[in-house]
């Protein structure tokens, strides 16, 4: 069982690759891969370690382009006791 | 599974024209969220100004009007006095509010106009290519101050919030910062208060948001946030400068 609490969803084509979300994520969930280019021509952020997300919302709060939607995993609903 | 963060309906679907990492986008989202949470979408009129946020009328999901440079508080005054039941706000940069529009903002505060002012202080003129603003810090480089602002020559930067808090007609003035998620949460609270002050007919409310202009500053977005924290906050201290008792 992993420690995953939340899932960050990324609207990659809205991302401008500014890196602010990476700089504030406490769990190193996010990455920018120079291999990918989005519709706007930026290198978008992607999720590299989804299992580490604690749902702190820091990425979503600092993103100037509202790229993130965050879902919390409800342990009791998912049958995952602490 | 439950959604704990999603895009506010206070913003349109339009992608912004702002540079990567520009905090205008964060400020827009906070205003949109505040209006949505207060149930004011559909009942709000925003006054866009001149500066990089000139197209903000495309991004806020409310009725918007474009004002000439610095004149948003005068336009907002006319609108609010004509339709006092509407929520009216201005969204202005420091070139707009603290330079060409100084008279308008001072006298809107002086008259105690019941409007909410969102003041984006990024210490530079972003739109026109990074010229010195009245808010540019001593030593800070700008295209019109290539060696950095010299206080003896150009004066020391204007502290608009301190100045306006001294105006008797101003009801609520707070300075917040957008450099970190913890501070962004506080900024949201201040913006909410700026609007509830208007709903309570409290009078003139202004929230100053310390902001970055990575492009004009010649820094990457993360460095710009660090520069803001290290240089702007010491000169422009955060906090409430004036608050009405009842809000
Ligand atoms: C009457 C008039 N004078 C000057 C200008 C040129 N001008 C456009 S934006 C601007 C300043 C913008 O700076 P700021 O308000 O700080 O906004 P930012 O672009 O940094 O967000 C100036 C001087 C203008 N458009 N109209
Ligand atoms: S919610 Fe927090 S932990 Fe999860 S990706 Fe965003 S910043 Fe990282
Ligand atoms: S903060 Fe937003 S725009 Fe910037 S890299 Fe992250 S997701 Fe992309
Ligand atoms: S020039 Fe500066 S203020 Fe304007 S959009 Fe770019 S970073 Fe933002």
**DSSP secondary structure letters along A17-77:** ---HHHHH-TT--EEE-TT---TTS---EEES-GGG-----HHHHH-TT--EEEEE--HHH
What pLDDT is stored for residue B35 in this prediction? Answer: 98
Average pLDDT, rounded, for chain A:
90
Token pair listed for B128: 């026109």
* Domain map (residue ranges) of chain B: 24-246
Name the nearest CA neighbour of B134 among B157, B151, B102, B154.
B157
Nearest CB neighbour to A72, from listed B4, B7, B181: B4
User: With 60 as the cut, is the pLDDT of residue A54 above it?
Assistant: yes
- Residue A81 is classified by DSSP as -
For ligand 2, what atom is nearest to the CA of residue A30? Answer: 5
Name the nearest CA neighbour of A61 among B3, B212, B182, B226.
B182
User: With 50 as the cut, is the pLDDT of residue A1 above it?
Assistant: no
Q: Please give the model's pTM, rounded to 2 decimal places.
A: 0.97
Q: How far apart are CA B201 and CA B114, in angstroms?
A: 6
Task: Go through the domains of chain A in sequence order and give each one's CATH number.
Answer: 6-72 (3.30.70.20)
Please, which pLDDT band fits residue A74 given cuts at 50, 70 and 90?
confident
Please, which pLDDT band fits residue A78 given cuts at 50, 70 and 90?
low
Q: The complex's ipTM?
A: 0.96
Burial of B147 (0-12, 13-18, 19+ CB in 10 A): exposed
CATH fold of the domain at B24-246:
Rossmann fold (3.40.50)
State the smallest CA–CA distance between residue A2 and chain B in angstroms: 16
Which segments of chain B have a pLDDT < 50?
none
What three-state secondary structure class fits B31? helix
Residue in A closest to B186 by C-alpha:
A61
Give percent of chain B with pLDDT exceeding 90: 98
């Amino acid at each position: 069982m992993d420690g995953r609490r939340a899932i960050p969803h990324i609207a990659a084509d809205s991302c401008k690759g500014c890196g602010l979300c990476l700089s504030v994520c406490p769990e190193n969930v996010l990455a920018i891969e120079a291999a990918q280019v989005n519709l706007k021509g930026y290198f978008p952020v992607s999720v590299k370690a989804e299992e580490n997300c604690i749902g702190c919302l820091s990425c979503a709060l600092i993103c100037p382009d509202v790229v993130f939607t965050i879902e919390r995993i409800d342990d009791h609903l998912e049958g995952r006791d602490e | 599974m439950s959604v704990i963060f999603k895009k506010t309906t206070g913003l349109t679907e339009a992608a912004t024209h702002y540079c990567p990492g520009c905090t205008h986008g964060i400020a827009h989202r906070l205003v949109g969220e505040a209006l949505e949470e207060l149930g004011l979408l559909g009942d709000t009129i925003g006054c866009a100004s001149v500066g990089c946020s000139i197209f903000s009328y495309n991004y806020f999901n409310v009725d918007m009007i474009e004002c000439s440079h610095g004149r948003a508080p005068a336009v907002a005054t006319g609108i609010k006095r004509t339709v006092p039941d509407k929520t009216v706000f201005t969204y202005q940069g420091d070139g707009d509010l603290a330079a060409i529009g100084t008279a308008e903002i001072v006298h809107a505060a002086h008259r105690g106009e019941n409007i909410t002012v969102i003041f984006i202080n990024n210490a530079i003129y972003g739109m026109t290519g990074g010229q010195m603003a009245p808010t540019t810090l001593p030593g800070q480089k700008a295209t019109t101050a290539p060696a950095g602002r010299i206080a003896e020559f150009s004066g020391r930067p204007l502290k608009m919030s301190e100045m306006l808090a001294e105006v008797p007609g101003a009801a609520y003035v707070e300075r917040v910062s957008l450099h970190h998620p913890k501070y962004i949460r506080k900024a949201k609270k201040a913006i909410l208060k700026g609007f509830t002050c208007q709903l309570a007919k409290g009078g003139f409310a202004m929230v100053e948001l310390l902001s970055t202009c990575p492009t004009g500053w010649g820094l990457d977005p993360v460095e710009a946030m660090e520069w803001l924290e290290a240089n702007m906050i010491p000169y422009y201290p955060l906090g409430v400068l004036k608050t009405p008792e009842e809000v």
